[in-house]
Amino acid sequence: MAAKIISGKEISQQIREELKKEVQELKEKHGLTPGLVTILVGENPASVSYVTAKQRTAHDLGFYSIQDNQPEDITEEALLSLIDQYNKDPKIHGILVQLPLPKHIDEKKIIHAIDPRKDVDGFHPVNVGKMVIGEPGFLPCTPHGILVLLDRAGVEVSGAEVVVVGRSNIVGKPVAILLMQKRKPVGNATVTVCHTATKDVTFHTKRADILIVAAGRPKVITGDMVKEGVVVIDVGVNRIGTTPEGKAILCGDVDFDSVKEKAAAITPVPGGVGPMTITMLMKNTVEAAKSWAGLPSEVG
């Protein structure tokens, strides 16, 4: 069976067009411009490319956006005071601090300092708690993007056996929590989570109707580990080399070539989950702006 390709790039593009229209309307009808600041500490090349893509998208959608670059040796105190400044800035509705931060800064302290009503990454404990109990709040962008991908690709999730490989706080754990919830349009699945202490990963992956892989290991899931007709969401982004022109060569956590022969549908890397993550950040910022302006919003 040749798998259908679930294109995050195309679905992302559709959602960005919808958001662009919504931003235009918010400006015209309510004089409201969604505002996003992305804070980058240091010059880690992967982080630079992520924030550049986020800023470019924010700009394309018509946001008020600020790229705030800070030196690698900024003190924790100075970074906390910068966050306090943006917490108080009425033009800013979303604050994103690009992770990872240098070792001398406590990431937890920084995330906790962001006003939960501006936490468009969905990492603040207040938003994590709301997600767990199913209250409106900011959903973390990558898991949220996966839900939207499944929905727009027309995958039946209710009642499905979902297997998640990976249990990180930013991907595996939240996506498992969201998919097990009695929520619409995507949820109500029976979810199994695998990690490095799982005795027999293949036993679980072979049972999956929907397999979500966020292991951070290149091509760790191979064709012999999945059943015919599975839907595969590959979250992994692994840099496995560089082209002669100096561009990174990427691959997922799934061995695309062998798995696509058995899967009903699969996301590619790149062009799958990656673009959705940025798009959901934009969506969260629009919802944040509406919420601050007292308009109906998905984040409450």
Residues labelled as active-site residues: 54, 98, 121
Nearer to ligand NAP by C-beta: 107 or 115? 107
Nearer to ligand NAP by C-beta: 139 or 215? 215
Summarize as ranges the residues that interact with ligand NAP (CB under 6 A).
142, 165-168, 170-172, 194-198, 201, 214-217, 220, 235-238, 253, 273-274, 277
Query: Minimum distance between the CB of residue 141 and ligand NAP, rounded to whole angstroms?
Result: 7
Nearer to ligand NAP by C-beta: 65 or 142? 142
CA 22 from centre of chain: 21
Residue 35 · residue 262 · CB < 8 Å: no
**Number of other CB atoms surrounding residue 112 within 10 Å:** 16
Separation between Cα atoms, residue 297 and residue 137, nearest integer Å: 10
Contacts of 100 (CB under 8 A, 6+ apart): 44, 47, 107
Q: In what order do the strands lie in the sheet with 161-165?
A: 4-5, 265-266, 231-234, 210-213, 161-165, 190-194
Nearer to ligand NAP by C-beta: 24 or 242? 242
User: Among candidates 114, 142, 134, 136, which has minimal Cα distance to 125?
Assistant: 114
Residue type, 200: D
Separation between Cα atoms, residue 62 and residue 120, nearest integer Å: 17
Nearer to ligand NAP by C-beta: 142 or 192? 142
Query: Minimum distance between the CB of residue 36 and ligand NAP, rounded to whole angstroms?
Result: 17
What 3-state class would DSSP assign to 19? Answer: helix
Query: Minimum distance between the CB of residue 199 and ligand NAP, rounded to whole angstroms?
Result: 11
Nearer to ligand NAP by C-beta: 27 or 195? 195
Beta bridge partners of 234: 213
Helix%, strand%, coil% for the chain, nearest 5? 40, 15, 40
Separation between Cα atoms, residue 298 and residue 300, nearest integer Å: 6
Residue with tokens 């958001």: 19
Residue with tokens 């919808």: 18
Query: Minimum distance between the CB of residue 15 and ligand NAP, rounded to whole angstroms?
Result: 15
Query: Minimum distance between the CB of residue 145 and ligand NAP, rounded to whole angstroms?
Result: 7
Query: Minimum distance between the CB of residue 90 and ligand NAP, rounded to whole angstroms?
Result: 30
Separation between Cα atoms, residue 105 and residue 27, nearest integer Å: 37
Provide the 8-state DSSP code for 225. Answer: G
